[in-house]
Amino acid sequence: MKNIVMKGTGIYIPPNKVYNEELDEHFEKRGLKAHGLMEHLGRRKRYFISEDETPITLCMNAIDDCAKKPGISLEDIELVIVCTDTPEYLVPTTALKLVGLYGERMKNVRLGFDLNSNCSGMAIGMDVAQKYMLASGYKNALIVGCFCISPSALWDDTVVYATFADAASCVVLTAVDDGEKRRGFLDSEVCVDASYQQYITYPKCGLTKVPLKSIEPNEKRLEWIPFEMDFLGEMWSGLIRKVLERNHLEPDDIDYYVFSQLNDACNMETLRLLGIDGEGGKYHFVGKEYAYTGNTCPILCINRMWDKYAKEGNKIIICTVGAGYTAIAMLYEF
């Protein structure tokens, strides 16, 4: 049986560390407050890029970190998918940029492209990659996620600038023949509800207006109109139950749950609806350290907990959501 499994992960966190106290002062100078929201979302610190960093350098640092892992060689990679909604360039794709910059080390790449599903990007990217690999002869894929939000956030945005952060992560997928054994990516369920599409827009003015001198700089940044996210727990738990039922599993059969790191309360509510004790060791929240890093969140968590998660037979659920929204729940077995 051909299975698609995670061979290893890599991450990059910029060295520019920003604590809550610094942002409290930043917003107080503007007559604003964000401390309560930072506390509610479980934020302690976050990392912003420096002036000499770009989404491309973030991606390369994450790839280099992954390439240090045992058994991983970039020369084996045949498929590259870059998942980002904050690229440095639209043309050429970030994937092609990376392949070109790595030169001989990525000489065997046969297909590379960018994928934008906002904050669900890396989960969707892994789902696309593993299905493509199952349907083709590709044996090794590199899925890279980048979230470079600090240059695009409004300085008076007490949601995005206060609780989001920059990061990159990547995962190498490989095809293996396990005889009759079934493991790796087992199933996924995706849903779309476009009724939320008006709340988050980047660039606010639209790409066709960005070159115009008449457009104010802030109109070229990200607009976040606050909205209630109480629906996430019910929506996520519904997606997860569909995946579990198809695979004859109960919520407690899952060893670990990997969620978006945007809102710890929504994650805990999802677990409650599934009948899982959120304090029982099946869930880890890394948003206190990294803040919210968009599509990179799931891999940051898996990378951090790799030694605990990546034990033979462990089953995990990866569940996240992207602006607008697109949501996905994935079942994976190590």
| pLDDT digits 0-9 by tens, 166-181 | 999 999 999 999 888 9
Listed residue (286, 318, 311, 300) closest to 10, CA to CA: 300
Torsion of CA 183, 185, 187, 188, to 10 degrees: 160
Encode 256-289: b = buried (16+ Cβ within 10 Å), e = exposed: bbbbbbbbbebbbbbbebbebebeeebbbebbeb
Give the Cα separation of 126 and 324 in Å (integer): 20
Distance of alpha carbon 2 from alpha carbon 184, whole angstroms: 10
pLDDT of residue 182: 93
Length of the chain: 334
Residue type, 251: P
The domain ranges of the chain are 2-177, 184-333
Q: What number is the average pLDDT over the span 229-236?
A: 92
Quick: pLDDT tens for 240-255. 999 999 999 999 999 9
Q: What are phi and psi of 211, to 5 degrees?
A: -70, -15
Distance CA 313, CA 329 (A): 19
pLDDT in tens, 99-147: 999 999 999 999 999 999 999 999 999 999 999 999 999 999 999 999 9
CA distance 9 to 7: 7
pLDDT band at 41; cut points 50, 70, 90: confident
Q: What is the pLDDT of residues 56-96, one digit of tens each?
A: 999 999 999 999 999 999 999 999 999 999 999 999 999 99
User: What pLDDT is recorded for position 300?
Assistant: 97
Q: Which CATH number fits domain 2-177: 3.40.50.1360, 3.40.47.10, 3.20.80.10, 3.40.50.150?
A: 3.40.47.10
Note whether 2-177 and 184-333 share their fold.
Answer: yes
The sheet that has 2-12: what strands, in order across it? 2-12, 167-177, 140-147, 79-84, 111-115
Please report the pLDDT score of residue 44 as a whole number.
87
Tokens of 162: 């206060």
Q: Which H or E run includes 169?
A: strand 167-177
Segment 27-35 shows an average pLDDT of 93
Alpha-carbon torsion, ordered 271, 186, 298, 175, to 10 deg: 160
Rounded CA gap, 124 and 105, in Å? 26
Distance, CA of 173 to CA of 141 (rounded, Å): 5
State the pTM of this model: 0.95
Angstrom distance (rounded) from CA 192 to CA 167 = 26
Q: What is the pLDDT of residue 96?
A: 98
Q: How confident is the model at residue 42 (pLDDT cuts 50, 70, 90)?
A: confident
pLDDT, residue 48, reads 97
Cβ–Cβ < 8 Å for 257, 271: yes
Taking each helix axis from N to C end, the angle separating 297-304 and 121-134, rounded to the nearest 10 degrees, works out to 80
180-198 average pLDDT score: 95
Model confidence at 39, in pLDDT bands (50, 70, 90)?
confident
Residue 179 has a pLDDT of 84
Query: Does the structure show a pLDDT above 90 at 228?
Result: no
Q: 183: pLDDT confidence band, cut at 50, 70 and 90? A: very high
What per-residue confidence (pLDDT) applies to 1?
Answer: 86
The yes-or-no verdict on residue 230 having pLDDT over 90 is no
- CATH code of 184-333, in short, is 3.40.47.10
